[in-house]
């Protein structure tokens, strides 16, 4: 029998707008002018965001659209689960949501990832928009199409690359965040500057106080440049075959710490710890110079992030939790390593490297012990 060749037309290039502005949630017509082209609009949110923004968004949209459904889940990482995805799907089916339904993911990274993954699989894929309300979601998770859920074996292990129709970042939402939630997101913005743009890192370092006090122009610049860097990277490597891995700086150790802490350590804080450890690994291996490491350590210390805060977590447990990281190949854990601030090391054209456990162990122990000096110095 001859082989049959399936030929599909090349996929249409995906483009979508990313708007970063104050007051966008109140200007729905600006970004959802064609609401009537959807059979229903479903807002997926969490219980904290619901009272802050979802109810008023729903009543505004009701003026534009007859069928609005609001689905709210408990806030927190534990909600990013298969049972919750199934719950949402059941509600969508019971409300007779068809393929022309639009999902609005209103909230932080947990909601964006969960709602996006639901949109990716519901009736084999329906439209969704990201409406991030946290800094972390604005600078990172809402952009680039990563969607997914956690399992007991690790974070984001089940999911899909599925791009939204638009990202609408209303920076007014950032004023309702606690300082901890704000810093949680700021770490991811700093990560983008560390991997790609030294000039922006120096700008953030020199304006840290103004950024933390949430001055509007500083917020807008911080988000704009993070998203710009991410969009350049994602356009070159959407499915993370190579270059996009650089967005995972700090995440091998960061995800492991989140898992070991049962998600008590927030993502951004875990990533900051991960960046310190992975930068120390890069220094131990002779890629990164000590001055660059010290500059990174000092910026995080100014944000109140110190290695010794994490000394209660077992080094061996963190190491063993890295073994289920998505970047691993052939059972070997891989790390994104800085060459200098603004540039990731690419050995043999690969942006993630295998590192001996002994080196990782040494780096974790060093970071946990030495940050104390920065705190008092
Ligand atoms: N959060 C990293 C990425 O989207 O690739």
Query: Does residue 16 register a pLDDT over 80?
Result: yes
* Boundary of a domain, candidates 126, 149, 175: 175
- Reported as a single tens digit per residue, the pLDDT across 301-330 is 999 999 999 999 999 999 999 997 777 777
Tally the domains of the chain.
2
Same domain, 195 and 164: no
Say if 10 falls within a structural domain. no
Q: Which of 141, 145, 185 is the best mutation target for the ligand 1 pocket, counting ligand atoms within 8 Å of the beta carbon and taking the most?
A: 141
- Ligand 1 atom nearest to 143, measured from its CA: 4
Q: Which two tokens stand for residue 67?
A: 């069928």
Residue 33, domain member (yes or no): yes
Residue 89 in domain? yes
Distances (CA, A) of 48 to 176, 197, 268: 10, 34, 19
Å from CA of 359 to ligand 1 middle? 25
**CATH code, 253:** 1.20.1090.10
Chain centroid, CA 230 distance in Å = 11
Do 247 and 323 fall within a single domain? yes
- Are 209 and 182 contained in the same domain? yes
Is 140 a domain residue? yes
Q: Ligand 1 centroid to 64 CA: how many Å?
A: 33
The verdict on residue 12 lying in a domain is no
358: alpha, beta or left? (left if phi > 0; alpha if psi -120 to 50): alpha
- Do residues 150 and 275 both lie within one domain? no
* 140 and 43 fall within a common domain: yes
Residues facing 222 on adjacent strands: none
Residues 164 and 278 in one domain: no
- Regarding the beta carbon of 80 and ligand 1, being less than 6 Å apart is answered no
Which residues are annotated as catalytic?
A: 124, 146, 188, 230, 240, 244, 248, 251, 255, 267
Which pTM value belongs to this model? 0.94
Question: Do 197 and 114 reside in the same domain of the chain?
Answer: no
Query: Is 144 a pocket residue for ligand 1 (Cβ < 6 Å)?
Result: yes
Nearest CA to ligand 1 atom 5: 247
% of the chain residues with pLDDT over 90: 87
**Distance separating alpha carbons of residues 90 and 173, to the nearest angstrom:** 30
Whether residue 161 is found in the same domain as residue 27: yes
For the cut 60, the answer to whether the pLDDT of residue 376 exceeds it is: no
Confidence band of 372 (pLDDT split at 50, 70, 90) = very low
280 and 239 in a common domain: yes
Please state, in angstroms and rounded to a whole number, the distance separating the CA atoms of residues 223 and 271. 18
Q: Is residue 279 part of a domain?
A: yes
What pLDDT score was predicted for residue 347? 85
* 280 within ligand 1 shell (Cβ under 6 A): no
Whether residue 374 is predicted with pLDDT greater than 70 in this model: the reply is: no
Q: How far, in Å, CA of 100 to CA of 83, rounded?
A: 24
Q: Is 146 in the pocket of ligand 1 (CB under 6 A)?
A: yes
Confidence of residue 17 (pLDDT cuts 50, 70, 90): very high
| Final residue before a domain boundary, out of 114, 141, 175 | 175
The pLDDT value recorded for residue 377 is 39
pLDDT at residue 34 greater than cutoff 80: yes
- Domain of residue 288 covers 178-373
Residues 278 and 309 in one domain: yes
Residue with tokens 């928009």: 129
Strands 154-161 and 146-151: antiparallel
Cβ-Cβ contacts under 8 Å for 228 (sequence gap 6 or more)? none
Nearest to 13 by CA among 234, 246, 167: 234
Q: Which residue has the higher pLDDT, 153 or 377?
A: 153
Residues in contact with 330: Cβ distance below 8 Å, sequence separation at least 6, in sequence order: none
* End-to-end CA separation in angstroms for the chain: 76
123: CATH = 3.40.50.1970
Query: 329 with 267, same domain?
Result: yes
Residue 34 lies in a domain: yes
- 3-state SS, the chain, equals CCCCCCCCCCCCCCCCCEEEECCHHHCHHHHCCCHHHCCEEEEEEEHHHHHHHHHHHHHHHHHHCCCEEEEEECCCHHHCCHHHHHHHHHHHHHCCCCCCEEEEEEECHHHHHHHHHHHHHHHHCCEEEEEECCHHHHHHHCCCCEEEEEECCEEEEEEEECCCCCEEEEHHHHHHCCHHHHHHHHHHHHHHHHHHCHHHHHHHHHCHHHHHCCCHHHHHHHHHHHHHHHHHHHHHCCCCCCHHHHHHCCHHHHHHHHHHCCCCCCHHHHHHHHHHHHHHHHHHCCCCCHHHHHHHHHHHHHCCCCHHHHCCCCHHHHHHHHHHCCCCECCECEECCEEECCEECCECCECCEECCHHHHHHHHHHHHHHHHHHHHC
Query: pLDDT tens, 221-272?
Result: 999 999 999 999 999 999 999 999 999 999 999 999 999 999 899 999 999 9
Domain final position from 123, 141, 175: 175
Q: Is 24 in the pocket of ligand 1 (CB under 6 A)?
A: no
What is the rounded distance in angstroms from the CA atom of residue 142 to the CA atom of residue 18? 9
Q: Is the pLDDT of residue 371 over 60?
A: no
Whether 277 and 136 share a structural domain? no
Note whether residue 290 is domain-resident. Answer: yes
């Amino acid at each position: 029998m001859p082989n049959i060749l399936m030929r599909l037309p090349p996929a249409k290039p995906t483009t979508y707008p990313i708007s970063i502005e104050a007051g966008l949630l109140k200007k729905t017509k600006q970004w959802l002018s064609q609401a009537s082209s959807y059979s229903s609009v479903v807002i997926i949110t969490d219980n904290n965001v619901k009272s802050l923004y979802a109810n008023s968004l729903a009543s505004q949209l009701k003026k534009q659209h007859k069928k609005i459904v609001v689905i709210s889940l408990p806030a927190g990482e534990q909600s990013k689960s298969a049972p919750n995805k199934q719950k949402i799907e059941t509600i969508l089916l019971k409300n007779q949501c068809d393929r022309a339904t639009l999902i609005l993911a209103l909230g932080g990274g947990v909601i964006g990832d969960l709602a996006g993954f639901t949109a990716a699989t519901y009736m084999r894929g329906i439209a969704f928009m990201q409406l991030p309300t946290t800094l972390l979601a604005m600078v990172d998770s809402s952009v680039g199409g990563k969607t997914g859920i956690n399992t007991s074996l690790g974070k984001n292990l089940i999911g899909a690359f599925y791009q939204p129709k638009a990202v609408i970042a209303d920076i007014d939402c950032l004023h309702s965040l606690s300082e901890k939630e704000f810093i949680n997101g700021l770490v991811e913005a700093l990560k983008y500057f560390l991997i790609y743009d030294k000039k922006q890192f120096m700008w953030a370092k020199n304006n840290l106080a103004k950024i933390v006090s949430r001055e509007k122009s500083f917020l807008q610049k911080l988000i704009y440049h993070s998203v710009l860097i991410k969009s350049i990277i994602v356009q070159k490597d959407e499915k993370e075959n190579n270059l996009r891995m650089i967005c995972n700086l700090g995440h091998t150790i960061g995800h492991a710490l989140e898992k070991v802490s049962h998600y008590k350590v927030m993502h951004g804080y875990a990533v900051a710890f991960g960046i310190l450890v992975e930068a120390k690994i890069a220094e131990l291996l002779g890629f990164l110079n000590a001055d660059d490491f010290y500059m990174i350590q000092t910026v995080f210390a100014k944000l109140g992030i110190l290695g010794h805060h994490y000394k209660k977590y077992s080094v061996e447990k963190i190491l063993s939790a890295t073994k289920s990281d998505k970047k691993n190949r052939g059972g070997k854990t891989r790390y994104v390593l800085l060459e200098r601030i603004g540039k990731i090391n690419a050995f043999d054209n690969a942006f993630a490297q295998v590192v001996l456990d002994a080196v990782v162990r040494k780096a974790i122990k060093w970071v946990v012990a030495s940050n104390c000096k920065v705190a008092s110095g």
